[in-house]
Amino acid sequence: MTRSSVFARARATGRLWNTLLIALDAAIVLLATIAAYYARFDGATPEPFTSWVVPLVIAATLLYGVAFAVFGLYRLVLRFVGVDTLLRLAAATALCFAVLLGADVIAPLQAGMRPVPFGVLFIQAVLVFLGAAAARMTARVYLYLRTSHVGSGRRVLIVGAGSAGSLLLREIQNRPDLGLSAVGFLDDEPALKRRTISGVPVLGTTAELTEVVRERGIEEIVVALPSAPKELVRRVLNEAADAGVETRVMPELVIAKGSVDLRDLRSVDVEDLLGRELTPIDIDEVAGTIRGKVVAVTGAGGSIGAELCRQIMRFEPATLLLMEIDETRLYELWLELTSSGSTAPVMCICDVRDAPRLDALMRTHQPQLVLHAAAYKHVPLMEIAPREAIKTNVLGTLNVIEACRVHGVGRFVLVSTDKAVAPVNMMGLTKSLAERIMLDAVSSGVLNGVAVRFGNVLASRGSVVPIFEEQLRHGGPLTVTDPDVTRYFMTIPEASRLVLQAQAIGTPGDIFVLEMGDPVRIVDLARKMIALSGVPADIEFIGLRPGEKLHESLVTESESLEPSTRKKILRVRRSSAESTTFSTDVRMLIDAAIDARSGVMRELVERLEPGFAEREQLGN
């Protein structure tokens, strides 16, 4: 290995800087000692003290070197030297001064005097601190001047001029290899306007984002607001998307770490764009229905079912029955929920279409609360396989309700959907029938049941968002059914929290609708995801798929909404009653689905849901 390669390797690993720093500290101790004697004795050190100069230099050099090493002053990243470094340096210097002072006190007197005057040790400590601090700060300034080249890279706008934004700026300025150039900050703090941070100006407030992007030629935005309200972050991200600029977000963990790496930044996800602040729920009220009780969740491996299980675990149930047909997802969820040592979760392989299996599980565990989330939900697929939709969503619900009746379950909760409102597809029809089966059981006095109805859940399996994300990973195009199609959206955690709150306040026969906000145009969502990702993808319109609506509704024409006792939870007021043949017709529909009698199925569907065939045809 050549001398130059050894040198390069030492520099790359940081050993060169550390070696130079150790040598420099030794020189500082030597010079500080000489200067201390000079200052103490006005340049003429008396004879009794001169014999102790060399021993003091040797002892002090070794002691300061060890102390600096113990306090981590040789493990520094020099471009990040700051207040923390100075505090550690002060502590190490004070310790060395105290040790040398103690040694001087206990040393034998020389001609009735201390070997080293106290004043020398004090002046030496002050000069060592100043010299070592100056050396490290000089190194930082040198590295800053060497590596900061404003305007030579991709032009970045940082939103947020607080501690997170400052950490990000430091990383950008000290890493020219990243190819980024910080053009400026945006921040809503009035005191920061027209100020500069490390030479980078605060250009305005977040309300001026679009204007700043246009005037300054911004190529990338980083939102450094890890602790800001979601509403503010969402507004900034939507404006960035409208401006067509790639955007990344700084996560909350950065503040806890106290440092930032560009690898910490994440891409914008759809929850950033559409998510809301979680609505507070009445913890005590919900806990009263769960704590110490046996709770069962069907469809536990699904997006909503799994999140319900996670949130139920926080309320300390005695037992949580994870009822799921997918063995892999069931096992993965069980591992997750038991990772903290809890024995409450119990795996239950179960198909809700299998009545004897349901009966056996209910008889064994005697649940007091059942949340029924098991269902087929994929609209186009259920159009292809209507028999399966009926057997799972209708027969499965009937089986669960019957098992609840037989085994005296205290409360049953049906997780429903806005597609059950004036259904135009088999998935919506079967969920509508599930609601009506529950209401029929309640009116018969055999069930204490409620239903909770909501729209699309962000990032759930098979929904539009994961599809868009996968298409972006492949460079597009993003496929949208129709330019005008809209959907209601809610995050999985928010939907699950509100389901738990709704079941806690519900009375038998209640149907609740979760307040979903305004419907979102899917094409707008696609455009924003493209802009924020930085992927130059196109949008392709493919037409509505079988069974899809342009717009979803939360209630039918015969229903109305009224406030409940909790925010974002509305109660559905119904005016229609079931026919006397409803239960019989449902049983006949299930039998027709099992026996594959398609003509009879169509007849019974039209009898149960008049006008469905016409609506389905129009939808298709």
CA dihedral 605, 606, 611, 615 (to 10 degrees): 40
CA dihedral 522, 524, 528, 534 (to 10 degrees): 90
Q: What DSSP string runs through 189-229?
A: -GGGTT-EETTEEEEE-GGGHHHHHHHHT--EEEE--TTS-
* Cβ contact 450:502 at 8 Å: yes
- Single-letter amino acid, residue 4: S
For residues 151 and 454, give the distance between their C-alpha atoms in angstroms, rounded to a whole number: 49
- Single-letter amino acid, residue 104: D
For the chain, how big is the Rg over CA atoms in Å?
Answer: 35
DSSP state letter for 162: S
In sequence order, the β-bridge partners of residue 349 are: 324
Q: Is 323 helix (H, G, I), strand (E, B) or coil?
A: strand
Distances from the Cα of 302 to the Cα of 27, 177, 198, 305, 396, angstroms: 67, 44, 49, 5, 16
Q: What DSSP element (H or E) covers 47?
A: helix 47-50
Query: Rounded to a whole number, what is the distance in angstroms from the first to the last CA of the chain?
Result: 74
For residues 256 and 496, give the distance between their C-alpha atoms in angstroms, rounded to a whole number: 28
DSSP state letter for 176: G
Cα angle 269, 428, 483 (rounded to 5 degrees) comes to 50
* Cβ contact 597:405 at 8 Å: no
Signed CA dihedral, 255, 260, 264, 269: sign only: positive
Interacting residues of 577 by C-beta distance below 8 A, sequence separation 6+? none
Please name the residue ranges forming H helices in 407-548: 426-443, 464-473, 492-505, 522-533
Helix 163-174 vs helix 118-147: angle between axes, to the nearest 10 degrees? Answer: 70
Just list the catalytic residues: 419
Interacting residues of 620 by C-beta distance below 8 A, sequence separation 6+? 383, 544, 546, 547
